[in-house]
Amino acid sequence: MSFFSNLRADRLIEQIKSSTNLMGPETQKAIAKLKEAGPGAIDAIIAALPEADKHATVAFVDVLATLEKEGLERELQELLAEAGPSAWEDETFGVHFAFFAQTDADVRLRILEGRRSRLEQRREGVRTALARRRERLDAYTLELQRHGLESVEREVRWLNELIATERLAGAATGRVGALPPDPADLPRSPGNHIR
């Protein structure tokens, strides 16, 4: 926060603290301007709390809640726009997926494709390791390895279906930038052969 912004926030805080009528138009205007000051005003507001009377404290808590909500919404929007490698890691993919309804279609598609790519790499690594160690593993460890491989393969199939659905939905809506369905990504059934 700039020097002048700090001065402005401090002036608004003092105006609210010295107000005798919290509902008065001048005080309400000061509260609104303090909310507009943004997150940089948070430290100054917190510093003013110990000296504030109960009416000013209520106003400051309201401003802090508004600034916090706006900050969280901004962070959520940034999260929803992120489609890089961190979005398709095991630890974060579920969070991104939980907010797919609010995420742009092209971002969803990049996340799904990235996740699929990551799992395909993992699947090949597990297959290679399994082939190398098969004769040295006991039956239970071998079964656990097979189970892990089946889980990854199942998630890759699920992602392929989601990607195909995203592409079909984009093509059906005629949305600019919609990707046409990739035939390799379409779910296959015994009677559905792509030529």
- Confidence bin at 184 (pLDDT 50/70/90): low
Cα 138 off chain centre by? 42
State how far the Cα of 145 lies from the Cα of 43, in Å rounded to an integer: 53
Helices marked H in 19-104: 25-36, 42-48, 54-81, 90-98
Q: Is the dihedral of CA 113, 115, 120, 121 positive or negative?
A: positive
Encode pLDDT of 17-63 as tens digits.
988 888 889 989 999 998 888 877 888 888 888 888 888 899 989 88
At residue 109, the pLDDT reads 94
At residue 164, the pLDDT reads 94
- Confidence bin at 182 (pLDDT 50/70/90): low
Cα atoms in the Cβ-side hemisphere of radius 13 Å centred on 165: 8
Query: For residues 27 and 16, is the Cβ–Cβ distance under 8 A?
Result: yes
Q: Region 60-78: what's the mean pLDDT?
A: 83
Encode pLDDT of 92-103 as tens digits.
888 888 888 888
Q: Region 109-135: what's the mean pLDDT?
A: 92
Query: For residues 182 and 195, is the Cβ–Cβ distance under 8 A?
Result: no
Amino acid identity of 55?
A: H
Phi, psi of 50 (to 5 degrees): -60, -30
Buried residues in 167-188 as b, exposed as e (16+ CB within 10 A): bbebeeeeeeebbebeeebbee
Select the more confidently predicted residue: 70 or 183.
70
Select the more confidently predicted residue: 163 or 9.
163
Select the more confidently predicted residue: 177 or 7.
7
Select the more confidently predicted residue: 120 or 42.
120
Q: Region 156-163: what's the mean pLDDT?
A: 96
In 10 A of CB 96, how many CB atoms?
Answer: 22
Helices marked H in the chain: 3-18, 25-36, 42-48, 54-81, 90-98, 105-133, 139-173
Encode pLDDT of 104-117 as tens digits.
899 999 999 999 99
Amino acid identity of 75?
A: E
State how far the Cα of 23 lies from the Cα of 164, in Å rounded to an integer: 56
Highest mean pLDDT among 62-66, 132-136, 177-181: 62-66
